[in-house]
Every structure is written in structure tokens, then in C-alpha cells.
Amino acid sequence: MQDKADLVEQVRTGDLRLHELEAHADAETAAAARRAYVAAETGATLDSIGAHSFPAAETESNVENLVGGAQLPMGVAGPVTVDGGAASGEYFLPLATTEGALVASVNRGLGAIEAAGGATARVTDSGMTRAPVFRVEGVAEAEQVTEWVEDNRDRLRATAESTTSHGELLAVDSYVVGDNLFLRFVYDTKDAMGMNMATIATREAATLLEEETPAELVALSGNLCSDKKPAAINAVEGRGRTVTADVLLGRDLVEGRLGTTPAAMAEGNTRKNLVGSAKAASLGFNAHAANTVAAMFLATGQDAAQVVEGANAITTMDVREEGLYASVSLASLELGTVGGGTGLPTQAEALDVLGLGGGGDPPGSNADALAEVVAVGALAGELSLIAAFCSRHLATAHEQLGR
């Protein structure tokens, strides 16, 4: 095994490439050599990037060409009581962000929710998708293949599930566009977010389909999944967890804690979140649900790019005799408590703050609970921001908190 200086020199002379260093040194030395080389080439100082808490050897499934870590401030909001299908009790919410006022805003909303006795939340649907696209001769052949899929669901299920000890194939939906046949596979991935699981399982099912039908696989992902892109199909059919949280805030609570009235909140939500979003042709009808989703995703080791789908939410607010009814429904919240970045040290600690690290009992219950807590956090953020608009305190809050 070589030392850092030798590795840097070999990269400089072109004898080694950056991605080859782990073959000639341990992971820590390889990362240090990469930092030294990049620093020499760019003139940057990478001391802070090199000061990370995770063992370099444990990141090979998370990143390539490791140089260190990117640190984010993390705050905590709560506690808040959640009455969920899987979540139950009081939770502190870890939020990693660089946006001043965000944690304070979510915390204010959670305070109002807690004063009302807590929020209710339910995961109403769950399923990770992968949708390959196949080439067929034309619509008649597409019909033939679609009929084969209908008649052979058990074979497709057995083939797909042979690749995983946890995942279950729930459905296969067919979509025909000319000589393109899309098959949207839907999986129960338990406590994993499950994108890799779904991809590997679908590859095996696609191989079977090619062997048994005239269809030819063009791409294992045909974008009808739809992953990391705004998509109406996810808003309607869901992807990952579909979850709703709601709360009923008394009139005195809205006036005392949020500085406004139920009528003003309901009107503000309608004009901003519903009418404004409709005019913009938005797929999300909410104030800033992505803020809470992103902060909790970063804190707990989720795939940050899937905040695109996590922002796919509708916020409702209605005046009731008791006060204000408010809800947020997230159609496609893609998250997990095992796999991906959830095992990295700081992310694992954040999941431990929630009491939701690792696999649940029964399987899938921890990820369901996490989805419900995220939804309650998003609801708190919606309540706080709409109240800030209605009371005209938004700019003041950002001025006071440095933004």
C-alpha cells in the first residue's frame, strides 16, 4: 500500500487516475491524497472538507472519488405529538438547513399543533415504482404483450421478487404510446426507500418479458416511474409514501399563537396555495412543503434529489365552528430508514432522535412513521408561513433571524 505523497505524485504524472486510488491505499489515505491533489490544482484549502466524522471506508456505496464531507447546520424543532398509523407519541424533528428562519418557523407551527393536542397523520398508500420502456412493432403487438403481462403476473412477481428478500411486487400497469410500451412496476420496499431494489427486480422481470414476448427493452427507466422529476403521474398515483397530516386549531389558539384568524388563514391559503398555484400550473399546491422535506431528508440521510417529488403536496385550510382545520397531503414522499445515507453517523443519530433508525417491526413501520412525522413537520411549516403572510410578519421574521 502506498502513502499519500506517492499517490499524489502518480496522479499528477498521469500514472493513476483519481478513481483508482483505493486500489493502492486504504480509503482514508486515498481520500487524503485526493484532497491534497485537488488543493494543489485549485489553490483551495480543504481542511474543513477533510474534517468529517464518518469512516471513509464506509462510504463506498454512497459516493465516488471521496475527498471528505459537506457539513450543514442542524437544528431541532418540537417536540410534537403525532397520532399516526405508525408514528405514536412525541417527536423532536431534526432539520438540516442553511436557511435562517426555517427551523424557527417549523418550531412555531409545531408549538401551535402541540397546543391543540397534536396532529393526526396516516400513510394512505405506499409503493416504489420503476417503469421500463419497450419497443414493439405497433399497437397490435403492444396489445399482445399487454395481454401476456395480464396473464403472467404471478411469473413476473416471482421473477422480480427472486432478487430481494424484502421487496414485494404489488402491481404492473401498462401504458401504450404508438410503438412504445411502458410497464410501471410498483413495489412494497418495506423500510428501504427502495429505488435500487425496484430497479434490480424490474431488470429481472424485463428479461423474462423479452424472452417470452416480441417486446424489446429500450431503457430500464422510461421516465414514467417518474423519479426525480416533476410528474403528474406521481401526484395522482403516488410514489413512495402517500401521506396526509391534519390538525384542528381552536380559534383562540390561532389568534394567540399565530397572530391571525381562522378566516384569514383559510382565505390566504385559498388565494395563495390553491388559486396562485393553479394559475402557475404548479404540481404542488402548498406554501413551502419542500423546505421541511428537504431539511429532514438532509438530516436523516435520504436522497436529496427526491425532494422534487416531496414538494408534490396540497395544503388545505377551512374554517370550522371550533376554529381552523388544516391539512397537508404529500403524494410522493420517497424515504426510508435503512439503506442509502441512513447509516452514516450523523444521519443515523438524527434517525435515533426520532427513534426510527433501522428496520421496523413489522417491516415498513419505521419508514411509515418517518413519513408521518415529516408530514406533520410540513404541516407545521405551512401553518407558520401562511400565518406570517396573513399577519404581515414574514419580512420582519427574516430580518430578525438574519435572512
Q: Where are the alpha helices (DSSP H) in 282-363?
A: 289-300, 307-310, 345-354
Q: Which SS3 state, helix, strand or coil, does residue 92 take? A: strand
Question: Cβ contacts of residue 366 below 8 Å, gap of 6+?
Answer: 86, 191, 337, 338, 356, 357, 358, 359, 360
Asked if 244 and 331 count as a contact pair (C-beta separation under 8 A), the reply is no
Q: Is the peptide bond before 262 cis (omega within 30 degrees of 0)?
A: no
What span, in angstroms and rounded, lies between the C-alpha atoms of 218 and 214?
13
Q: How many CB atoms lie within 10 A of CB 318?
A: 14
**DSSP string across 130-153:** E--EEE-SSHHHHHHHHHHHHHTH
Q: Which amino acid is at 357?
A: G
Which cell is 25 given? 491505499
**From 24, 166, 393, 398, active-site residue:** 398
Which one from 212, 267, 303, 318 is the annotated catalytic residue? 303
Q: Which residues of 321-345 are buried (b: 16+ CB within 10 A; e: fewer)?
A: eebbbbbbbbbbbbbbbbbbbbbbe
Catalytic, 393? Answer no
Which amino acid is located at 302 in the chain? Q
Q: Please answer whether residues 9 and 32 qualify as being in contact, where contact means their C-beta atoms are separated by less than 8 angstroms.
A: no
Classify 286 as helix, strand or coil: coil
382 is catalytic: no
Instruction: Specify the DSSP element, H or E, that contains 369.
Output: helix 365-391
DSSP 164: -
Q: Are the C-beta atoms of 297 and 303 separated by less than 8 Å?
A: yes
Catalytic residue list contains 212: no
**Nearest by Cα to 182 from 213, 222, 215:** 222
User: Burial level of 255, CB count in 10 A (0-12/13-18/19+)?
Assistant: middle
Q: Which amino acid is at 373?
A: V
Catalytic residue among 99, 114, 143, 212: 99
* Distance (Å, whole) CA 136 – CA 11: 48
**Residues that are catalytic:** 99, 303, 398
